[in-house]
Amino acid sequence: MIIAVDGPAASGKGTIARRLAAHFGLPHLDTGLLYRAVGIGVLRAGGDPSSAADALAACGFGAAMLHDPQLKSEAAGKAASIVSAHPEVRAALFARQLDFASQPGGAVLDGRDIGTVIAPHAAAKLFVTATPEARAERRWRELTASGLAVDQKHVLTDIRARDERDSVRSAAPLKMAGDARLLDTTALDVEGAVAAALLLVERALHPAANDGAR
């Protein structure tokens, strides 16, 4: 059983995907980490994330790279959103994601194009979103809690820029799959968002049993 969780930055999709994976006893892959690993790899090599050749050269990273603490930085997120626009990079990372999704028993993957490109056949698809302001505030709280002094307005500007880059690129843009279920987490806390996500997944898995509940 594959569960696809897509959505923009700081929408809560990562937390929701992790909790769904724990609930259903499935392995989980945060696919943003793959693009972040490529982004950081390019920066460390002194390359330019907007160069397809530089980005492609950084796609052969090892599994250990996915645990690098620098992947969580804003610099990695920004570089990731630039390298991810290259179709060559998306193609190079495709097999890793498909392999993960195809393991026996299934998996939960979160990202931008899981329900549309990586696993269009997923048993359940969620598209998790929230207003840019709510997402910026969450990201700002996370960064502040981790000891970084950042300006909330600056975080909002970054989130909007990332949304724009992720949505307008021609290669696998951020787009809700036609058969995905929309979850707006703007007014929800973590537990509320997880509960709503579980309900939507159960409805996707057992449509007939839940028809009356819609």
For ligand C5P, give the closer residue by CB, 36 or 138.
Answer: 36
User: In the range 73-112, which residues lie near ligand C5P by CB under 6 A?
Assistant: 77, 80-81, 84, 111-112
Binds ligand C5P by CB under 6 A, chosen from 166, 185, 196, 201: 166
Task: State whether residue 110 is helix, strand or coil.
Answer: strand
Q: From 32-40, 61-69, 124-132, 205-213, give the range in contact with ligand C5P by CB under 6 A.
A: 32-40
For ligand C5P, which is the closer residue by CB, 174 or 201?
174
Contact between 35 and ligand C5P per CB under 6 A = yes
Q: Which of 32, 106, 115, 132 binds ligand C5P (CB under 6 A)?
A: 32
Which one of 5, 9, 126, 155 is in contact with ligand C5P (CB under 6 A)?
A: 9
Residue type, 206: H
Kindly state whether residue 116 participates in binding ligand C5P, applying the rule CB under 6 A. no
For ligand C5P, the closer CB: 160 or 203: 160
Q: How far apart are CA 105 and CA 24, in angstroms?
A: 10
Cβ 104 to ligand C5P shortest distance, Å: 23
Q: Does 31 bind ligand C5P (CB under 6 A)?
A: yes
Distances in Å between the alpha carbon of 22 and those of 19, 107, 193? 5, 11, 15
Which chain residues interact with ligand C5P by CB under 6 A? 9, 31-32, 35-36, 77, 80-81, 84, 111-113, 162, 166
